[in-house]
Amino acid sequence: MSNKYMSAIRHETLTNKGKIDNLEPLWSHYSELLDKFMREMNYNLVKGNGVIKKTKAKPYQEDIQVLFDRAIRAHNKKVEKGEKTKNLSEKLKEIEENAIETPLSARYVQCCYDQAYETYSSWSALLSDKIKTFLGNSSIDNELIQGQPFLTTCYRINKNKLWYSSKTTLKWAYDEENNLVVPTKENKAVIELKVPEEIMKFMRRLVKQARKTISLPDLSKVRTLKLDSRLASLEMSKNAHHVEFWLKLSTLDKGNPVYIPLKNNPYYKKLLETGEKVDFTQICLRDKKLTVSPILAHDKAPLRTNEKELGLDFGLVTMFTTSTGERHGIKTFTKLKIWDELLLARTKELQKQGKKLSNDPYYKALQSKIKSFFKNEIGRILNKLGNKEYAVFVVEKLDFRYSNLSKKMNRLLTRTYRKVIKDKFVRLEEKYGITTIEVNAAYTSQECSNCGFVSKNNRKSQSEFVCKCCNYKINADVNAARNIVKRRSFDIELRKYANEHKVRITRCLILKKLLQKHNCSCNNSSASCHF
């Protein structure tokens, strides 16, 4: 695992309309090629072929014959010098197979392929994690199929992403009892066996199921280009006094780059000094606005080793409520109600006119405003909590639907909120060394954090919690946050029990054993404890 993490520093530029119009065609060709590469990678995956990290694609702007002539000249020069070279017919055949018609240069094609491969790698990793979850939650025994352990083989296939391979073989070793085991440094592989077709069919069914929830990314509408220094480079300004940096960006017109001014400020300059500049720059063109984001590499913070835990309860009335009683983002819901009314009003108006929502600038600007607000607020609050001495954040499984808001707003919040928070938790681990653990949030709002009594009647209102058993009074969100921390403690005990007994059993079976140790402090017949 790399000890570095990347961050992009967004910088909006005030570029004139002429330069924007000159750059616009670049994005359409780039996104088209991105989508083409992604579909090719998916095709190679399904067909069982390997997906290469570097492309062999050769672009041609006018006629493929130019590439043929260039290859013939290079071949003849090597022959004259007496150097070894490939067969000319094979070379021309390879060019014909890999050539693509695009006005982009070879450097642009390579950057485009690298960006598509990064997206493909992330998608396939998510797919693999989903299948791993399916296997972990299944009741499949590790029975022998043609001498190979079923479940172990499934995990190994999934790890190596060999779901569609037609001739899959795995290396095995023997233990002291002459059973097949996974090879290690101490116990090296001694035999290679073909995976039974029964196991491969089972894995393909799992992949099919996983792909229903994690679909292939659509890159045809991508507006962000990730370019190396040969295509986009930051240069210090020498003559112009009104700007400090220029971004030199290659265009479709070879030899005529565009220079984009970047006006610096103390905050931007300070951020540039926090990390090491890498050989890539992100450039985004959206709604005639150009955004330049230099990418910096930072050292990952070591994981915090203290035992301080903080429970976080998410909500819309209060954005974050901690188990210590702190409440952050109290005015969030008031703003959401105003924006929700504006969205609904604009939706009704556009429907009467027979216009699409996606084509309306006002509607798009309002959605963008809501997303930016949440991103900034979440970042501000979690950075504030990250600066404190907590080692673990215990959070509930993310669900942001709220009955008092419209379906459109709930859909927008669910998509935006979940992604932003999950990305931020990853960044908290990298920047501060804070681990985030997700627990089941069922009944946390109904359960008393003092005695454990569970009842719908405990929550008198949105903000007030009064236990019907012990009369414990507390803010409802604070109560939920404390219950979330309790779930974490119970999860630790679950894992401890499984490790002590050295068995692989489902969560439900572990619960049956552990519930015998836990006696509910409330004997009320209408109540039940939910772990």
**Tens-place pLDDT, residues 404-456:** 667 777 777 776 777 788 888 888 888 888 888 777 666 777 888 888 788 88
Burial class (CB in 10 A: 0-12, 13-18, 19+), 294: buried
* The pLDDT of residue 109: 92
* The pLDDT of residue 240: 65
Q: What percentage of residues in the chain have a pLDDT greater than 70? A: 87
* The pLDDT of residue 515: 54
Across residues 239-259, what is the average pLDDT? 82
3-state secondary structure 430-491: HHHCCEEEEECCCCCCCECCCCCCECHHHECCCCEEECCCCCCEEEHHHHHHHHHHHHHHHH
Across residues 63-82, what is the average pLDDT? 84
More confident residue, 316 or 473: 473
Residue 98 has pLDDT above 70, yes or no: yes
* The pLDDT of residue 8: 81
Residue 145 has pLDDT above 80, yes or no: yes
Residue 402 has pLDDT above 60, yes or no: no
Residue 252 tokens read as 């479709």
Across residues 473-484, what is the average pLDDT? 81
- Rounded CA-CA distance 485/215 in Å is 33
Q: What percentage of residues in the chain have a pLDDT greater than 90? A: 12
Q: Tell me the pLDDT band of 51, cut-offs 50, 70 and 90.
A: confident
- Rounded CA-CA distance 249/459 in Å is 59
Q: Which residues pair with 298 in a beta bridge?
A: 5
C-beta separation of 478 from 468 below 8 A: no
Across residues 78-91, what is the average pLDDT? 82
pLDDT tens by residue, 332-387: 778 878 888 888 888 888 888 888 877 888 888 888 888 888 888 888 888 888 88
User: What are 84-93's contacts with CB under 8 Å, separation 24+?
Assistant: 92/68
Beta-sheet pairing, 435-439 with 392-396: parallel
Mean pLDDT, the chain, rounded, equals 81
pTM above 0.85, yes or no: no
Residue 272 has pLDDT above 70, yes or no: yes
pLDDT tens by residue, 195-241: 999 999 999 999 999 999 888 999 988 889 999 988 988 777 777 66
* The pLDDT of residue 262: 79
Domain boundaries, the chain: 1-41+103-300, 309-439
Across residues 171-186, what is the average pLDDT? 84
Query: Tokens 């791993």, residue?
Result: 132
C-beta separation of 393 from 434 below 8 A: yes
* The pLDDT of residue 441: 65
